[in-house]
Amino acid sequence: MDPLSSLRCCALGWVALRSFAPNKGISYMNFPDSIANIIILGIMVVGLLGLLIPVIPGLVIIWLAGLAYGLGVGFQTPGWIFFTILTIIMVVGSLVDNVVMGQQAHQSGASWISVLLAMLFGVVGTFILPVIGGFIGALLALFLAEWVRRRNWRDAMTATTGWAVGCGWAIVIRFVLGLLMIGIWMIWALF
């Protein structure tokens, strides 16, 4: 089952569950009935799909949609707890990709200085060539730093491949965290 189908099944399951949940008063944000909630879910799905492209801050987009929901319904006791959990997941997810990519490159033989240079040039590359510039800048910087350090292009390529593998794992981890954030928001929206 692909991730989008899983998300659709999860959303339909929550809508079905909500139909059995007791009504806790009149609220303009009842999950299955609210256009605002459908829009928020749509923004979250866009953020989730954005996680498949390394430079799009999908977790931040999902978090901002959760913030919009919280501002709409208010941050009563369960609300601020759910929003705090969303915030923690967003921060951890934003950091984990750099850690995973750097760790994979280091395990493939790259020095920590080369890893830091790759991160720096990844940021610079994002501004020079949006969308793919960060990825290309990081790979190029890591390859050149390792080639200068070792004078062996095969070792430099091995370290660069480690970075690319780490990038793939980081995308998977962030995608799972994005699904988790959307699931937590759905629970928040239902109760």
11-39: pLDDT as tens digits: 444 444 444 444 444 444 555 558 888 89
- The answer to whether residue 140 is domain-embedded is yes
Instruction: Give domain status of residue 6, yes or no.
Output: no
Q: Is residue 25 part of a domain?
A: no
Residue whose entry in the numeric block shows the structure tokens 């299955």: 32
Q: Which two structure tokens, joined as six digits, stand for 22?
A: 């007791």
Instruction: Note the helical H segments in the chain.
Output: 3-20, 35-50, 58-73, 77-107, 112-128, 133-150, 153-190
Interior angle at CA 128, CA 126 and CA 131, nearest 5: 40
The answer for 15, left when phi > 0, alpha when psi is -120 to 50, beta otherwise, is alpha
1 C-beta neighbours (distance < 10 Å), count: 7
CB 62 within 8 A of CB 85: no
Query: In terms of residue numbers, what domain contains 53?
Result: 33-190
Residue 139 lies in a domain: yes
**Residue 11 maps to a domain:** no
Which residue's entry shows tokens 């990081």? 138
**CA pair distance 51, 29, nearest whole angstrom:** 27
Cα–Cα distance for residue pair 142/160, rounded to 1 Å: 6
Instruction: Tell me the C-alpha distance between 95 and 98, whole Å.
Output: 6
pLDDT tens-place string over residues 97-146: 888 888 888 888 888 888 888 888 888 887 888 767 888 888 888 898 88
pLDDT(177) > 90: yes
Answer whether residue 8 is part of any domain. Answer: no
Can you give the pLDDT at residue 30?
A: 54
In a domain, 5, yes or no: no
Looking at the 3D structure of the chain, how many domains does it have?
1
Overall pTM surpassing 0.75 (yes/no): no
For residue 161, being part of any structural domain is answered with yes
Instruction: Count Cα atoms within 13 angstroms, Cβ side, for 161.
Output: 8
C-alpha pair distances (Å), 23 with each of 18, 82, 141: 9, 20, 57
Q: Give the burial string for 22-41 (b: 16+ CB within 10 Å, else e).
A: eeeeeeeebbeebebbeebb
